Chains A and B, each alone.
Chain A
Amino acid sequence: MKPMQRKALKKKDALWLGFVALLTLLPLAPAVAANSFHMHVVILILLFASMAQAWNIIGGYCGQVSFGHSVFFGIGAYGAGMAVVTYGGMPWPGILVGVILAAAVAVVISYPCFKLSGHYFAIATFAIVEIFNRSFLVWDWIGGALGLDYPLVKEGLMNLMWYNTKTGYYYCALILFLTIFGTVRWLEGHRFGYYMRAVREGQETAESLGVNSTAVKLAALTALCGAFFAQYNLRVDTPMVVSLDMSMKFVLITVLGGAGTLVGPLLGAAVLIPLQEYTQAFWGGLGGGVDLIIFGLLIILMVVKQPGGMIGIFHAVQKGILKRKNAAKGESADGAP
């Protein structure tokens, strides 16, 4: 039994390693490299998969549905943005400050929020996003309603900015993606994984098992994603980064892919982001929100038809294949030895 298990584990690891290698080499693929729009979509997929994965820990594994993650995201984005725009320096110190601040905010707001459960928790996180959204909009020091527009400075890793190709951004997004997926993968195998599943059943134990401290770490990672988003967009404004719409994206992607699973966020992002970007590209020009009408309909359809997420389809297919294999082998294969 044991060698079997190890073999299965190794096979899974090999699959992951192959996948990572594929991602590393992706910019060399001519179809992607030649068309920067495809590249843009791939970068966004990686970024949003990372963000969704950070949400997945609290929302998926622990079952605490938070709509407040755009607060951390926004703090990260503003940290990078202000370092470059307001102070005219490199983004790095700003990113560091943003990450620390986001963690601090997470400590403060998780204290009252984790006392709540179910919808009360969800609505409390709504309220927090709205409070931040409205205060940021009128706070002149951080750019207020105008937002921050990046100046053009020398490209390169120092300034975390590239103009000619998107390859630099791609590798940054990839590192972000691997860091967050690696963390979650590690957590899943770790004792903590069992804790998390326990918390999903009974929430009172959350605090005693240290979900709070995990929430803080993941807030920091979310802020890192926000900083990258700011550097990539070359613009930070409140409705874009700290808003319910942004928060909903974290949730939508994860749930569409499969909440509480490792691959779920990646699957969700790989479906939702191209959907959003290409509907915008094809139908956005029609004006009057046609792209969003289609987007809304597709969300309803996907959620209603596949409430367990896309991962459910994969499991169904896998089961089907297994069944057929077993049927081919004969009766003995799926029964007792």
Chain B
Amino acid sequence: METFVQVLIDGMLNGMVYALVAAGLCLIWGLMDVINFAHGEYLMVAMYVSYWLGFLLNVDPVVSVVAAGIFIFILGVLTYQLIIRYTIGKPGLVALLATFGLAIFLKNVCLNRFSPNFLILSGTWLGDKTLNLGNLIFSLPQVVAAFMALVVVGLIYALINTTRFGWAIQATALDRDAAELMGINTERIYLLVFGISGACVGIAGGIMPSYLAVHPEVGSMFGLIAFVCVAMGGFGSIPGAFLAGLLVGSVEALAGFYLAPVFKYIAVFGLYLAVVCLRPKGIFGW
């Protein structure tokens, strides 16, 4: 029983980070019905930012989170300005393929610059410290990452539901033309939301090097899992993505522990298929 609880909570901690990555994707999907295929690659770039800040300037990932967030915010804004802007109003496939091209580009630029080697940041503050609660043992970096993810997802949710800016986002998502008529600068909303989505994944990627090796392929899996979380949660629903993130994290950990490590992603994707079989628009979809 104790093992079960340990594995489950480990999975949930991981799941909160998935939820943060997914929240970023969810925002764009809900607002402009665009799937950003390069989302996982943003995460990878954020990890590199944090890694190099730690390696060259001795900045701890806990601090570089801010820098990574800002960096990916800018990357998101640039992506919108240079690519996504031209795909609005075109079939959904166009944006998806353009961002797929961007994903290939980012992945291979990192491969070219930083080699395909796994880079591990040693001597961080959190390092291999653990948090002991009775007989349960958690790795401190993961607990901090999960906590940070929880806070950021909460902030995003609050931003969307309680501020004027958030209401403007919702209005734009419902009906762009009507929002425009109400005096909302929808172009600016799109731009900022793309940036915020980047910042979410940037924060997630910023903290990760304290417990995960960095390499050019690291983002692909996170990106896929984020797609699954968003779709499982339901169209553009942040609470849905959060719940789905937790579910995916727990299923991944439990399947990895009780079946075999190779089965964990099979279980995760199987779970998605099972959920959409019962609810074709996701858990909170309508």
Contacts and interface: CB of A to CB of B under 8 A. Distances in A.
A116 interface: yes
Given A292-B104, A299-B97, A120 B276 contact: yes
Interface in B139-159: none
Contact of B112 (A130, A259, A293): A293
Interface stretch (B9-17, B84-92, B164-172, B179-187): B84-92
Contacts, number: 125
A118 interface: yes
B105 interface: yes
Interface string B84-109: 00110011111011101111111111
A130 B265 contact: yes
A266 to B, nearest CB: 18
Contacts of A116: 276, 280
B35 interface: yes
B57 interface: no
Interface in A92-145: 112, 115-120, 122-124, 126-128, 130-131, 134-135, 137-138
A303 B5 CA distance: 48
A112 B277 contact: yes
Contact of B104 (A115, A122, A126, A299): A299
Given A252-B100, A296-B103, A299-B98, A119 B92 contact: yes
A248 interface: yes
Contacts of B100: 248, 252, 299
Nearest to A302: B101
B269 A128 contact: yes
B266 interface: yes
B277 A300 contact: no
A124 B102 contact: no
Interface string A270-305: 000000000000000000111011011111100110
Interface in A280-337: 288-290, 292-293, 295-300, 303-304, 307
Most chain A CB within 10 A, of B231, B262, B280, is at B231
| Chain B interface size range | 35 or more
Nearest to B227: A123
A127 B93 contact: no
B224 A134 contact: no
A288 B117 CA distance: 12
Interface residues of A, number: 40
B273 to A, nearest CB: 6
Contacts of B29: 119
B231 A293 contact: no
B137 interface: no
A65 B282 CA distance: 18
Given A127-B272, A296-B103, A303 B94 contact: yes
A123 B275 CA distance: 12
Nearest to B95: A303
Most chain B CB within 10 A, of A137, A248, A303, is at A303
Most chain A CB within 10 A, of B86, B107, B266, is at B266
B228 A123 contact: yes
Most chain B CB within 10 A, of A116, A117, A130, A137, is at A130
A92 to B, nearest CB: 32
A240 B90 CA distance: 31
Nearest to A135: B266
A130 B269 contact: yes
B281 interface: yes
Contacts of B83: 300, 304
A82 to B, nearest CB: 21
Given A126-B227, A252-B100, A304-B87, A288 B272 contact: no
A77 B269 CA distance: 24
Contact of B266 (A122, A131, A298, A299): A131
A252 B103 CA distance: 14
Interface in A47-86: 65
A262 interface: no
Contacts of B266: 130-131, 134-135
Closest 9 CB pairs of A and B: A299-B101, A296-B105, A289-B108, A296-B104, A127-B269, A288-B112, A300-B101, A292-B108, A123-B231
Interface of A: 65, 112, 115-120, 122-124, 126-128, 130-131, 134-135, 137-138, 244, 248, 251-252, 255, 259, 288-290, 292-293, 295-300, 303-304, 307
Given A252-B97, A293-B105, 5 more contacts: A65-B93, A119-B35, A124-B272, A251-B93, A307-B87
12 contacts: A65-B92, A119-B92, A120-B276, A123-B231, A127-B272, A128-B273, A131-B273, A255-B93, A296-B106, A297-B101, A300-B102, A303-B101
